[in-house]
Structure 1
Amino acid sequence: MDNRTNLDDYLAGLGISDADEAESVPPPAPDPQAPAISPALSHPHEEPSVVLERFLQGVIARIDPTLAVTVREAEDALEADITGENAARLAGRDGRTLGALEVLAYTVLAKTEGRSEQRVRIDIGGFRRRQADTLAKLAERLAVQVAKSGEPHEMQPMPASERRILHITLKEHPDVMTESVGEGAARRLIIRPRHG
């Protein structure tokens, strides 16, 4: 399989092509004496929400200028919603593009703030909301199954954000409890009977 062709097809689907690259004027050569300044990092005393919003607006302007970004401060993270008619396509297969965008946004904020404590959650076209609803319903079904059988159920490895949804959903459940086991990408959740 030709990776170049697949990448070109993917970029064309996002409205980005080699023709776009050829038409753009190359940036001037950087001055080796000047400090490197990234546009997203050029205002070091800005609020993290402003930095995140500017970064995301820059990304989506290149992909689909009809999309809109809203950033708000939640209790434990900065949350951003990207909305618009074609927003759901931007999430990518199984939310992979969305996950990559979150990692980039987190990195930009960490470099701006000089620390990496700020958590970032991004939803694109309601993808995360739908995913959370699906996971919560799955957790409830599995809790009934575990409570009835008395046998623990071990999930497949999943990202921390998905395990968190399952933990929160079943936190107050009277018959089951949850626990995460394993390391790194192999970390998974086990639903166990609470008594027994």
Structure 2
Amino acid sequence: MDNRTNLDDYLAGLGIADADETASPPPAPEALPAAVPVAEAAPEDPRAALERFLTGLTARIDPGLSVTVREGEDALEAEITGESAARLAGRDGRTLGAIEVIAYTVLAKQAGRSDLRVRVDVGGFRKRQADTLAKLAERLAVQVAKSGEAHELQPMPAGERRVIHIALKEHPDVTTESVGEGTSRRLIIRPRHG
């Protein structure tokens, strides 16, 4: 079966034809206006680019949402607030993660800054998640200290591993280590020996 024919049939079913007879032919080259040189646009301020993108995105989703962007220690941090902001997190923060990836891509393109990290929080989701992870880290640290045996967590994103590393950084009885590669990277909490 010819894939081209199937695609043509599919497009025709949508009212899109490969060669639409009603379309007018392209204008002759001499009828086109002379090309005007376009000046290279200077990269936009990263904070302004991120705020503009997130404001446009949230306005299309829910005009009642507002965006605040600030410069953190190692990243641009955006907070989306409003009555229905928490819904933007999605299941297990997946929608929020996708918003961060797109925001990072826009920032890299508009501001020419692929070196900046972007963190977005909606309705305090990231803060609540960090608090929950810190409490989990403390419970596991007590368990590891009592048993003397290491505890290996399930694979998790770098941001979540970082929260646990920071929560247990100064713990007197345990130490943390990340092992594995890519999406299989996970954290191990080990007893601290002398």
Superposition TM-score tier, normalisation by shorter sequence = 0.7 to 0.9
In the alignment, is residue 78 of structure 1 matched against residue 76 of structure 2? yes
Structure 2 gap segments, 5+ residues each: 1-34
Of 64, 67, 81, the match for 1:66? 64
TM-score between the two structures when normalised by the length of structure 1: 0.77
Between the aligned partners of 1:109 and 1:123, the Cα distance in structure 2 is: 17
Letter in 2 for 1:130: R
Q: Give me the TM-score of the superposition, normalised by structure 2.
A: 0.78
| SS of residue matched to 1:132 | helix
Q: Which amino acid aligns with 1:102?
A: E
Structure 1 position 34, deviation (Å):
9.2
C-alpha contact (below 8 Å) 1:152/1:190 kept by paired residues:
yes
Contact 1:157 1:185 in 2 (8 A): yes
Runs of at least 4 residues off by over 3 Å: 42-45
Between the aligned partners of 2:45 and 2:113, the Cα distance in structure 1 is 14
Q: Is the contact made by 1:69 and 1:82 (CA closer than 8 Å) also made in structure 2?
A: yes
- Specify whether residues 34 and 165 from structure 1 end up closer, same or farther in structure 2 by C-alpha distance, changes over 3 A only: farther
Does structure 2 retain, via aligned residues, the 8 Å contact 1:44–1:112? no
Residues 195 and 84 from structure 1, CA distance in 2 versus in 1: closer, same or farther, beyond 3 angstroms? same
2:178 aligned counterpart, secondary structure: strand
Task: Kindly state the Cα deviation for residue 43 of structure 1 after the two structures are TM-superposed.
Answer: 6.0
In our comparison, the structure showing a higher alpha carbon Rg is 2
Out of 62, 87, 93, the residue aligned to residue 95 of structure 1 is 93
Aligned residue pairs, count: 160
Q: Which amino acid aligns with 2:68?
A: T
Contact 2:44–2:111 (8 Å) recurs in 1: no
Distance 1:43 1:125, change over 3 A: farther
CA contact (8 A) 2:49 2:111 kept: no
Query: Where do 5+ consecutive residues of structure 1 fail to align?
Result: 1-32, 36-41
Which residue in the other structure is 2:168 paired with?
A: 170
In structure 2, what is the equivalent of residue 120 of structure 1?
118
